[in-house]
Chain A
Amino acid sequence: MANTTKIEVRVNGVGRTAEVQPRLLLVHYLRDVLGLTGTHIGCETSLCGACTVMVDGAAVKSCTLLAVQVDGCEVQTIESLATDDGLHPIQEAFWDCHGLQCGFCTPGMIMATRQLLQENPSPSEEEIRHGLEGNICRCTGYKHIVDAVQQAAEQMKAGT
């Protein structure tokens, strides 16, 4: 077996330690090693955004990161959003507004939305479209996704 490197990562608040091959992509670590299959693999070429996760609070494409690069980092995936009390307001909004059809792009859309609303709690339609530029949906068209982000923004402001 090829050489391995030890990594320590916090994923969704849980400390994880693993011996991984340096070439293991973060998205494969999350899905295949940790079983967190909510993060999807779409284009594998850092275009479609289905694999978007947060690393140290910044949205990134996990198909274009090695697991060894996030050694010592805090990673959050789509699985970190819902709690025992229910869905996260962004998830609720995508449901309410029909912001998905097949749902394949949705985890990435939601994680990118999370970053967008962190930086800009009241985005305009144009800012939403710009902020989600790194995520591609092949089903709905983007109108309902924009509606969902606007509803989520309202809900999150009302909740704070």
Chain B
Amino acid sequence: MIPAAFDYIVPDSLEAAAASLADGGENAKVMAGGHSLLPMMKLRLAQPSVVIDLKRLDSLRQIQADGGALRIGALVTHHQVETSSEVNENCPLLALTAGSIGDPQVRNRGTIGGSVVHGDPAADWPAALLALGAEVTLTSSGGSRSVAAGDFFLGPLTTAAEPNEILTGVSVPVPAAGTRATYRKVKQKASGFAIVGIAVCLRTDGDTCTDVGIGVTGLAGTPFRATAAEDQLRGKALTADAVAAAAAQVAEGVDALGDIHASGEFRSHLARLNTARAIQDALDG
């Protein structure tokens, strides 16, 4: 499995990278760690004529906590997120998610930016980013814009990033003190991708849920925020009945994916089961 030939560009600045991407148009692809793009190129599902490697853009390797947000550069590896003290202190759900991706070798090389912009419907990051209400930053020659995670994932391998835009980072609002969060996934054994992954982020006042975010990946062609399930919890007492009612909603009206690993019916079952368990884990944790 050898990729088709391409021209290789290693820009020294984000401006130069954006200019190269504008020049290359739809035939150009941006590479961070390469762990989503290269497998596609080896299978010739992607045959870019130009690959723009961002590896010299050290400004995209940083994790910063400021102004109530955690900003993670596109080139930050899953391993760095997993082990970052800033992430573990401010938003442990992100570290938990990072540690569940692939395997140690993949986490050493794969990046948050590369994974998110690839838009794989079974990737882990979307669940956490949706549950946390994160934004992604997109940069082109024309400037930068932010897009909410809920508006970013549009379909299998399809995102709101335009062909001339580079995903430069994600920004996650730091959850208020006392927020409880967790990520549960049923993974495909060999690849580690999520057959179903559920991220839950909960705030409570006594027994009452004051706010909640539930992000779902793997279940459908597009990762999504389970708003109907959230509505069963928000403002209500977190009784076993309320948790069950929320879980029952998570796959309602969803066109569930079926493949050799799990039928749509089984995926829906796993989503309901793991939503209930994730809420309980968050409460117990």
Identify the B interface with A (CB < 8 A).
Answer: 1-8, 31, 34-35, 38-39, 41-42, 51, 53, 55, 79, 102-106, 108-109, 190-192
Contact = CB atoms under 8 A, between A and B. Distances in A.
27 contacts: A3-B8, A22-B7, A22-B8, A22-B51, A23-B41, A44-B1, A45-B42, A46-B35, A46-B102, A46-B105, A47-B191, A52-B105, A58-B108, A59-B105, A60-B109, A61-B106, A61-B109, A64-B34, A64-B39, A64-B109, A65-B109, A69-B34, A69-B55, A112-B104, A112-B105, A131-B104, A134-B105
A122 interface: no
Contacts of B55: 69
B39 A46 contact: yes
A61 B51 CA distance: 20
Nearest to B102: A134
Nearest to B4: A23
Interface of A: 2-3, 5, 21-23, 25, 28, 44-47, 49, 52, 55, 58-61, 64-66, 68-69, 112, 115-116, 131, 133-136
Contacts of A25: 2, 42
Given A22-B7, A115-B104, A47 B190 contact: yes
A59 B51 contact: no
Given A21-B5, A46-B39, A59 B104 contact: yes
Nearest to A133: B103
A28 B3 CA distance: 12
Given A66-B34, A69-B31, 11 more contacts: A22-B5, A23-B41, A25-B42, A44-B1, A45-B1, A52-B105, A59-B105, A64-B34, A64-B39, A112-B104, A136-B190
Contacts, number: 80
Contacts of B79: 58
Nearest to B42: A44
Max chain B C-beta neighbours (<10 A), residue from A52, A55, A60, A131: A60
A49 B53 contact: no
A115 B104 CA distance: 9
Contacts of A52: 105
Contacts of A49: 103, 105
A57 to B, nearest CB: 10
A91 B8 CA distance: 38
A27 B266 CA distance: 38
A25 to B, nearest CB: 7
Contacts of B6: 22-23
B7 to A, nearest CB: 6
A49 B103 CA distance: 10
B8 A5 contact: yes
B184 to A, nearest CB: 17
A140 B220 CA distance: 37
B76 to A, nearest CB: 14
Given A47-B191, A69-B34, A134-B102, A59 B7 contact: no
Contacts of B108: 58-60
Contacts of B190: 47, 136
Contacts of A60: 105, 108-109
Contacts of B5: 2-3, 21-23
Contact of A45 (B3, B31, B34, B39): B39
B102 to A, nearest CB: 7
B160 to A, nearest CB: 27
B268 to A, nearest CB: 27
A109 to B, nearest CB: 12
Max chain A C-beta neighbours (<10 A), residue from B7, B104, B108: B104
Contacts of A68: 8, 53
B106 A65 contact: no
A134 B35 CA distance: 14
Nearest to A51: B105
B95 to A, nearest CB: 15
Contact of B3 (A23, A55, A131): A23
